[in-house]
Chains A and B, each alone.
Chain A
């Protein structure tokens, strides 16, 4: 089984600054994948970034990067140069590869970018 914990219900950041959204996970399985999704107020789920448990380097996608610390079982999302459009809910999720292919989500963090 897998578990995802997001301890920050809400975060605030000034436009153009960087922000880190925390995610910790719990599994004894050695093969897994970690995802971040964005959910704007319109409700759609938008895939942002992926990190595999065997990936040697931290994933990056444009302004998004994933700070993967395997020993600490953390997979924090870093958003650089925040924009007003980044205001949304952010969900961390995990899949156990080789087991059930279900994606298990954390409770989310609401990010507000202030002008």
Chain B
């Protein structure tokens, strides 16, 4: 597609429920990233995919968080047994190739705002 598409744009859930957030990267972009942005804070790295594999998942905060990418395209971030501290905006980004640089920047989606009651 023309840009990075994320859904849902807003999600309100109850504590303890599972949620899935979806990211559809720019067509042809092999690298995909998930970040979390809590209110008024910077971006916290969660996980990075190159194709379908995740060379770096060091930012996933607990085993309640998981992500997968299929067909080298769409990615799903799953949060199990949500907690109130999971409330944040989850941002997805994609880039064209392996080496991030000025010629290969991360393009971000509009984010999925998650609220856990």
> A residues within 8 Å of B by Cβ?
33, 35, 43-45, 47, 50-52, 59, 91, 93, 95, 97, 100-108
In the docked arrangement, what's the CA distance between A106 and B106, Å? 16
- Judge whether B102 is part of the interface by a CB distance below 8 angstroms: yes
Q: Let me know if A44 and B48 touch, CB within 8 A.
A: no
Residues of A within 8 A of B108 (CB): 44-45
Q: Let me know if A101 and B45 touch, CB within 8 A.
A: no
Q: How near does chain B come to A39, taking the closest CB pair, in angstroms?
A: 9
In the docked arrangement, what's the CA distance between A95 and B95, Å? 13
In the docked arrangement, what's the CA distance between A33 and B59, Å? 20
Q: Let me know if B102 and A102 touch, CB within 8 A.
A: no
Q: Let me know if A103 and B106 touch, CB within 8 A.
A: yes
Residues of B within 8 A of A44 (CB): 108, 110-111
